């Protein structure tokens, strides 16, 4: 007898055959190491770039102030704890904007902002390597979508030349897989010359790049902060917390409060996570954690290049090792874990078919001896499979 789930079972078989099948590993994190499916390994998959999720001062203060698990309500009903206003004021000062609005996740911040400002009369110009949350937001908005070649301002200009009506350009600060930095100066010039709104998702550059007294992100680092209309970012990357936020003008904040379904119809971020974010922000400002991180980036990037691995144009804490073949990429990841190094394979649909890679993300918590051990493991595995 045919099962009503037959088509789903066939889909799983297809995913396994194409080497796109995913499973969830059990991961118990302890600083720069983790126990992964029972095996201890150096943890090279974390977005906790400055190690603040495990900061003892923050943990102690959060526990001391802990009052409830959740407000159990949306912000517009009864979930808007006063700490939200405090956090949003700090985030606005950090990004150099008039106002900010906190969302439960970075994914929802992208969906909430883009679907609130774009509609069927809009045209969105999106970098081809933008994150899935941006892609989904563009589709949900109902706007016409035009994808420009990665970081290519000339292609962007050619797409915008004959476009009429409302125009929105969306890109990232540091790209989440390739780890390269957006060419924001040229992209902003093109966008402004075509009277377009500019949206930047800076989840991976926020609190990492910028002037040494603020680390307010990629836009500040590249000197284009004043040209950006909407900054979207995460509280769960360098800040080591959880949630997302949008920084923009007061007008845009009011539009989001009144039109963003992802803000209106979901429970508020738990208050203790606001506490955590507020405690983390000052710890990002003196630059010590960023210096440790960039020292680690220099050691590991140089080591991988010296071994002969292809890492693209990455100059940041996100380092992709370009492999291509999906089956081989999974084998490399599995063998690295056997050698006590935890790195996940990135495959379609996160990247295009045939462009699979190993995505390394470094943190300030990594010790030099851990990085050297990991490089030795990469060398052994790379030679075993003849990719170096």
Query: Where exactly are the structural domains of the chain?
Result: 6-50+287-384, 68-283
CA 85 – CA 248 distance, rounded (Å): 15
What does the pLDDT read at residue 2?
63
Enumerate residue ranges in the chain where pLDDT < 70.
Answer: 1-2
DSSP annotation of 24: P
What does the pLDDT read at residue 9?
94
Domains 6-50+287-384 and 68-283 in one fold: no
What does the pLDDT read at residue 273?
97
User: Which top CATH class is 6-50+287-384?
Assistant: alpha beta
- Is the CA virtual torsion 91, 93, 97, 100 positive or negative? positive
In order, the DSSP letters of 148-159 are EPTT-HHHHHHH
Q: Three-state DSSP class for 179?
A: coil
Crossing angle between the packed helical segments 368-384 and 288-307, to the nearest 10 degrees? 20
What does the pLDDT read at residue 182?
98
What does the pLDDT read at residue 213?
83
Residues with Cβ < 8 Å from 268, sequence gap 6 or more? 70, 71, 73, 74, 75, 79, 80, 81, 84, 104
Q: What pLDDT, in 10s, does the model give residues 298-350?
A: 999 999 999 999 999 999 999 999 999 999 999 999 999 999 999 999 999 99
Tell me the whole-structure pTM to 2 decimals: 0.95
* Mean pLDDT of the chain, nearest integer: 97
The answer as to CATH 3.40.640.10 being correct for domain 68-283 is yes
Max Cα-Cα span within the chain: 68
What does the pLDDT read at residue 333?
98
What does the pLDDT read at residue 212?
85
């Amino acid at each position: 007898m045919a099962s009503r789930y037959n088509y789903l079972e066939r889909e799983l078989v297809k995913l396994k055959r194409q080497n796109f099948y995913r499973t969830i590993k059990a991961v118990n994190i302890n600083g720069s190491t983790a126990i992964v499916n029972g095996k201890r390994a150096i943890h090279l998959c974390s977005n906790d770039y400055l190690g603040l999720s495990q900061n003892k001062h923050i943990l102690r203060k959060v526990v001391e102030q802990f009052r409830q698990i959740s407000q159990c309500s949306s912000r517009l009903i009864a979930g808007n704890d006063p700490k939200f206003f405090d956090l949003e004021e700090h985030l606005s000062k950090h990004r150099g904007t008039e106002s900010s609005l906190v969302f439960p996740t970075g994914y929802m911040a992208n969906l909430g902002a883009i679907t609130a400002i774009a509609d069927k009369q809009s045209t969105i110009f999106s970098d081809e390597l933008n994150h899935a949350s941006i892609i989904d937001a563009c589709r949900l908005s109902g706007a016409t979508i035009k994808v420009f070649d990665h970081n290519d301002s000339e292609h962007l200009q050619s797409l915008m030349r004959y476009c009429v009506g409302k125009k929105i350009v969306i890109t990232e600060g540091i790209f989440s897989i390739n780890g390269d930095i957006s060419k924001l100066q040229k992209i902003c010039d093109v966008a402004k010359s075509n009277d377009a709104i500019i949206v930047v998702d800076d989840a991976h550059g926020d609190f990492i790049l910028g002037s040494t007294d603020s680390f307010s992100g990629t836009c500040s680092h590249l000197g284009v902060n004043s040209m950006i209309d909407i900054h979207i970012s995460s509280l769960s990357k360098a800040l080591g917390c959880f949630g997302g936020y949008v920084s923009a003008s007061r007008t845009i904040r009011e539009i989001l409060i009144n039109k963003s379904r992802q803000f209106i119809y979901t429970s508020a971020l738990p208050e203790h996570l606001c506490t955590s974010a507020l405690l983390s922000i000052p710890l990002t400002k003196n630059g010590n954690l960023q210096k440790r991180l960039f020292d680690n980036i220099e050691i590991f990037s140089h080591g991988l290049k010296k071994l002969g691995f292809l890492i693209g144009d990455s100059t940041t804490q996100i380092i992709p090792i370009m492999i291509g073949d999906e089956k081989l990429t999974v084998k490399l990841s599995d063998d690295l874990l056997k050698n006590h190094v935890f790195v996940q394979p990135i495959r379609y649909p996160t990247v295009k078919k045939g462009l699979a890679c190993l995505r390394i993300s470094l943190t300030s918590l990594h010790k030099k001896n851990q990085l050297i051990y990991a490089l030795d493991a990469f060398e052994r595995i790379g030679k075993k499979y003849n990719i170096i």
